[in-house]
Amino acid sequence: MELSDKVAVITGGSGGIGRAMAKAFLEQGARAVVLADLSAEAVSTAAAELGCAGRACDVTDEQQIIDLVEWTIGQFGPIDLFCSNAGAGGEGVLTDAANDVWQKQWDLHVMSHVYAARAVLPSMIARGEGYLLNTASAAGLLAALGSGPYSVTKAAAVKLAEFLAITHGDEGIKVSVLCPQGVNTAMAPKSLGDGQTDGIIEADELAQVVVDTLREERFYVLPHPAVEEYVRRKGDNIDRWLSGMRRLRQRTLQG
């Protein structure tokens, strides 16, 4: 997909990855970009600074996603690209992660993508074209040590993206899943701890990788190239990979 003259919606758009993608899409000549975020004030400020549209939206509320899609179509015409990008960290492993933490992570990292697809796919399928970009994480392909709810729900987000690509690819729908490691945003500060990242990149760097991947219409968006090799090793020998991850966890706990 070339972004010139396209209409894009980006949830989680007021800062970090979402804002950087919006900036990059506008630089590529997008006809309209709509930012959506939980805070009406934050998204209005970001939209004004970038020169695009902004809407308050709680992505865990399906009706609000439907309203966002309908408003965008009414204002700018058919949506070419929907970036379901909102997310947040969730600490804890199993016994120390309360049920409400698991549920909130599930609603934010999985159901928000389901709601977005339900809302936007009918009009895309009717036109025979459209693109979904869902933000997951390298943790969804591998693991985030010390964060069970985050790892598990991000893995589910990857699987949902695969399912959408399989189910709707023959109807003209393209799907990509964004799986970064550390990005310099409010969610991931400069220090992430031993073994948890191959380097923290800037959000603008990530956004350029997104643009390039959309142009090539590849499924994985991997701003940290090493992740692809880690996934390959995991697939080659899962038992060896699990053993290595246990060793890494022990080093992290002792460090």
Taking only Cα atoms into account, the Rg of the chain, rounded to an integer number of angstroms, comes to 18
- Specify the DSSP class assigned to residue 200: P
Calpha distance 150→139 (Å, rounded): 8
Give me the active site residues, please. 150
183, 184, 251 from 191: Cα distances, Å: 10, 9, 16
Q: Which are the contacts of 24, defined by CB distance < 8 A and separation ≥ 6? A: 204, 207, 208, 210, 211
Find the DSSP H helices in 169-237.
203-216, 226-236
